[in-house]
Amino acid sequence: MTAEIICVGTELLLGDIVNTNAQFLSRELAELGISVLHQHVIGDNPGRLRDLVKEAKSRSDLLVFSGGLGPTEDDLTKETVASCYGDTLAFDAEEWDKIVAYFTRTGRTVTPNNRKQAMVPTKGHKLPNAHGTAPGAWFEDDGCIAVLMPGVPREMKAMWAEDIRPVLLQRQNCTIHSKTLRVLGGESSIASKVSPLFASENPTAAIYCKIGESEIRVTARAATEAEAETACDARIAEFRKILGPNAYDVDVPGLEYTVVHLLQQKGLHAATAESCTGGLVAEKITNVPGSSEVFGYGFVTYAEAAKAKLLGVDPTLIEQYNVVSGPVAVAMAYGALQASGADLAVGITGIAGPGGALPGKPVGTVYLAGADARSGKAWLMRLELGGYAERSIIRTRAALYALDMLRRMALGLDVPDSVRFTPETADRNLDI
- 287-312 burial, b at 16+ Cβ within 10 Å, e below that, comes to ebeebeebbebbbbbeeeeebbebbe
Q: 2-171 sits in which CATH class?
A: alpha beta
What span, in angstroms and rounded, lies between the C-alpha atoms of 93 and 81? 22
> Is 255-430 in the same CATH topology as 2-171?
no
CA 14 to chain centre: 25
Residue ranges per domain, the chain? 2-171, 175-250, 255-430
Closest CA to 168 of 63, 80, 41, 37: 63
Q: H-helix or E-strand containing 145?
A: strand 144-149
pLDDT digits (tens, 9 = 90+) for 181-228: 999 998 888 999 999 999 988 999 999 999 999 999 999 989 888 999
- How far is it, in rounded angstroms, from Cα 175 to Cα 46? 38
What gap in Å lies between CA 423 and CA 373, rounded to an integer?
Answer: 10
pLDDT at 21: 96
Is residue 345 within 8 A of residue 333, CB to CB? The reply is: yes
Distance CA 273, CA 282 (A): 9
Mapping DSSP to helix (H, G, I), strand (E, B) and coil, where does residue 395 land? Answer: helix
Give residue 106's pLDDT: 84
Q: Which of 58, 62, 47 is nearest to 3 (CA)?
A: 62
Query: What amino acid occupies position 95?
Result: E
In the sheet that 136-141 helps form, which strands lie side by side, from edge to edge?
35-42, 2-8, 62-66, 144-149, 136-141, 125-127
CATH number of 175-250: 3.30.70.2860
What's the CA gap between 71 and 314, in Å, rounded?
Answer: 67
Return the pLDDT at 188: 87
For the beta carbon of residue 209, count every other beta carbon within 10 angstroms. 14
Cα dihedral 180, 185, 187, 189 sign? negative
pLDDT of residue 33: 80
DSSP3 helix / strand / coil % (the chain, rounded to 5): 45, 25, 30
Q: Tell me which CATH homologous superfamily contains domain 255-430.
A: CinA-like (3.90.950.20)
| Residue numbers in the chain where pLDDT is lower than 50 | none
| pTM given for the model | 0.78
Integer angstrom CA distances of residue 103 from 96, 99, 131, 318: 11, 6, 11, 63
Ramachandran angles phi, psi of 317, nearest 5°: -65, -45
Which residue, among 188, 209, 237, 182, has the nearest Cα to 403 in the 3D structure? 182
